Amino acid sequence: MASGTPQSGVGRVIADRYLLLNRLGSGGMGHVWLAYDQRLACEVALKEIVFRDPGEADHDRSARVARARAEARHAAGLRGHPHVVTVHDVLEHEGLPWIVMEYVAGALDLSALVAQRGAVAPAECARIGLAVLDALTAGHERGVMHRDVKPANILLAPDRTGSPYARVLLTDYGISVRPDGDETRYTLTSALVGTAGYLAPERAQGGPPTAAADLFSLGCTLYYAVEGYGPFDRESGLAALTAAVMEEPRPVLHAGALEPLLSALLTKDPVRRITAEGTEAALSLILTPQPHPRTRLDPASEPPWAGGITRTAAPRTPPAAVPPQSHGGAPQWYAPSGPPSGQAPGPWSGVRGFGPPPAAPGRRRRPRNRARTAVLATALGLALAVGGAWFAMANLPGDGDAKPYGDAVGLSRPLADGDCVATRWTGAPFVGDPELRVVKCLSEEPYGQVMAVFGTASAQDARSAGATRCERRTEETRKKLADVRSYAAVPTADGFERAGHRVACLLLDARGKPLFGPIGNRRPVGMRFSDTATMQKGDCLDRVNDNIAELVSCRGPHQEQVLDFHRMSPDTTLARARRQATTVCRQEVPPDDYGYDPNIYTGSSWVGDSAWASGTHFVVCTAIRRDGGTMERDEP
């Protein structure tokens, strides 16, 4: 976690009121800080404008300042909207503007959510899309176009009940504009306003900002959420812009019911693109699908199985004009029919069309041995009943060779809570399903682990809600680990019975690389870490040697405690990281930020091979005593 520059770092007071606590993130215009409002005694978010180029022309600097004021003005006009981050104030400090905004505790932007935990289920995508569309529509009604709708500008946060990601908020109106207003459009001369890969083709070609262009960006955003990558992702920004103008989006693989809407939103021609009203209707239908209308037969006609007489179709009668039915209101073709005129009732005369055939003219019917007929009929009925029962038992769903999670996953038995599972992805990690194999826990083989198992009402319920529920059930552990993602092993329709109606929630390495050792609370005290992949925040450790640490109870004496993780720059080699990690941890994750007395404690680090093999480049930062002694349970 970067602490910022000396001029704008932690502890600085802005406008004699806002104490900067830590940096939440950075964007195209500057940094966003968590700050403490000393006047109102509450936390707020402050957006700081940063000029990275000291030689930036004065008019460009003026444009940035003006855009910040415009952001505050436009967003403040949407104050109180449930899906827009509230802007409280805009102020100037040392000649630069700062925007005071609502602090959304526990928020994660959609881009980070997908990067960390995988693509979002179509129904959840529809919920997010409806919220963002509501925010955009509110702005469009005021004549304000957002112009930068993208996953990074959509925040997902817990609601008052603590349900994660329940709140959906659109943020960053920094480049929004009223196309019909008289204000200056603050666009830098060397830059195209917007984000490559999410910019509508008409905007990429220099067209004006419109509501239709925002809808195209929304389509790109929903595509990213449900597929895990953008529809026009390319190796460079210019290539992405070109693709948005000239090429069709990549075919969807996991969009499901969202596919037709995504196609309509990503239509190149803005005139033919779906409207906000149509988008709202389509998203609402995905969230609350209408029941499939049942086929209603014409009461004036008979079903094809009602008799052997060929009939012409009767004209359909409007419902209001249908005459009242006799026979208790049942449709006519269910009504029992009497025997033909002059004929005694027979054993099959109760259902129309199944009466005995009329006798041939001029021939007498031969008498039958009714007793023999009854015996034969009884035997035939028993044979049919036994055969039907055998067929039903032989074809019970989920029995036999059906695999619980399908052929791709390959397991022949359902996963149980705590199972250790080795994975092999045939394509890109977390795109599709991996081949899974249960392995022995605490073995040397790399694996992930089942962290929870829960039941579902149906295979469809498992498919639609399994991934989201697994996210929630593994959230606490994921927050403590550096680089893991959840994966929901969802039973197929054929394997639903075999899986025991249950979904298994696994934690795996976020980039498809191996994890070594048990995860979370499944790690026994005394286990030794051969790698940093399963170390987690709050762990208490004893150092066995420079390459091995032992997990010990924090209630007793221990040599160090894990504080957090720090990602080294991508060009840092493993050897260089081993030399520099402790110095970097002391600077970026100082123990005094966690309540440790800097006169007694200092920082240390662990570096694992897997972090460089996976490309994550994270190091584990810990606190130790300066005198080399042990820490006790009553210490921070």
CA atoms of 328 and 97, how far apart (whole Å) = 78
- Give the orientation angle of helix 110-117 with respect to helix 211-227, to 10 degrees: 20
Say if residue 47 carries a ligand binding annotation: yes
Give me the pLDDT at residue 634, please.
Answer: 56
Q: Which of 41-50, 389-398, 598-607 has the lowest mean pLDDT?
A: 389-398
Global pTM value: 0.47
pLDDT of the residue at 549: 92
State whether 7 and 94 are in the same domain. yes
Report the CATH number at residue 211: 1.10.510.10
pLDDT in tens, 549-605: 999 998 889 999 999 999 898 889 999 999 999 999 999 899 988 888 899 999 999
Q: Which domain holds residue 144?
A: 106-181+192-288
Residue 28's pLDDT is what?
A: 57
Last residue of a domain, one of 263, 288, 313: 288
CATH number of the structural domain spanning residue 72 = 3.30.200.20
| 60 located within any domain | yes
For residue 47, the cross-strand partners are: 32, 99
Q: Give me the sheet containing 87-93, strands edge to edge.
A: 13-14, 18-26, 30-37, 42-49, 96-101, 87-93
Helix axes 276-287, 122-141, angle to 10 degrees: 150
Distance CA 440, CA 420 (A): 6
45 phi-psi bin (left φ>0, alpha ψ -120 to 50, beta other): beta
Instruction: From 103, 130, 145, give the residue that closes a domain.
Output: 103
- Mean pLDDT is lowest, of 358-362, 520-524, 630-634, for 358-362
Residues 177 and 147 in one domain: yes
Is 356 domain-assigned? no
Where do we find the tokens 């005369």? 349
372 in any annotated domain: no
Q: Is residue 306 part of a domain?
A: no
Q: Are residues 122 and 262 in the same domain?
A: yes
The number of beta carbons lying within 10 Å of the beta carbon of residue 217 is 25
Tokens of 572: 């840092």
H/E stretch holding 606 reads strand 601-606
pLDDT tens for 432-462 read 889 999 988 877 666 789 999 988 888 888 8
- Please identify, among 482, 499, 520, the residue that sits at the C-terminal boundary of a domain: 520
Task: Read off the pLDDT of residues 171-226 as tens digits, 9 standing for 90 and up.
Answer: 876 544 444 443 333 333 334 557 889 999 999 888 888 999 999 999 999 999 99
- Find out whether 179 and 225 touch, Cβ atoms under 8 Å: no
Of 91, 208, 82, give the one whose Cα is nearest residue 133: 82
List, in order, residues 6 or more apart from 141 with CB less than 8 Å away: none
Which amino acid, one-letter code, is at 376? L
Q: Which of 537, 540, 534, 549 is nearest to 610 (CA)?
A: 534
Same domain? For 516 and 527 the reply is no
Does some domain include residue 429?
yes
Strand order in 548-552's β-sheet? 528-529, 548-552, 540-545, 560-567, 618-625, 601-606
More confident residue, 331 or 8: 8
**pLDDT score recorded for residue 603:** 95
Which residues, 6+ apart, have CB-to-CB distance to 300 below 8 Å?
314, 315, 316, 317, 322, 332
pLDDT for res 546: 83
Residue 329, domain member (yes or no): no
Instruction: Identify the band that residue 11 occupies on the pLDDT scale cut at 50, 70 and 90.
Output: confident
Q: What is the CA radius of gyration of the chain?
A: 34
- Report the amino acid identity of residue 92: E
Residues 131 and 233 reside in one and the same domain = yes
Lowest mean pLDDT among 27-36, 156-165, 518-527: 27-36
| Assigned domain for 401 exists | no
- Taking 80 as the threshold, does the pLDDT of residue 384 lie above it? no
Take residue 412 and report the two structure tokens written for it: 């022949």
Establish if 585 belongs to a structural domain.
yes
pLDDT at residue number 190 = 34
Tell me the pLDDT tens digit for each residue of 250-308.
Answer: 999 899 999 999 999 999 999 999 999 999 999 999 987 655 444 343 333 333 333 33
List the one residue out of 55, 52, 32, 176 whose CA is nearest residue 107.
32
- 58 catalytically annotated: no
Q: How far is CA 42 from CA 35, 105, 155, 162, in A?
A: 9, 12, 20, 20
Statement to judge: residues 492 and 578 lie in one domain: no
DSSP 421: E
Q: Are residues 130 and 3 in the same domain?
A: no
Quote the pLDDT of residue 311.
35
Catalytic residue among 109, 148, 494, 531: 148
For the chain, the domain total comes to 4
- SS3 readout for 360-393: CCCCCCCCCCHHHHHHHHHHHHHHHHHHHHHHHH
The mean pLDDT value of the chain amounts to: 76
pLDDT recorded at residue 296? 40
Residues 7 and 59 in one domain: yes
Q: Are residues 532 and 505 in the same domain?
A: no
Please tell me whether residues 469 and 449 are part of one structural domain.
Answer: yes
Question: What is d(CA 283, CA 262) in angstroms, rounded to the nearest whole number?
Answer: 10
CB-CB contact of 601 with 626 (8 Å): yes
Residue 326 pLDDT more than 60? no
Give yes or no: residues 139 and 272 share one domain. yes
Average pLDDT over residues 126-143: 91
pLDDT at residue 562, rounded to an integer: 94
Residues 89, 238 within the same domain: no
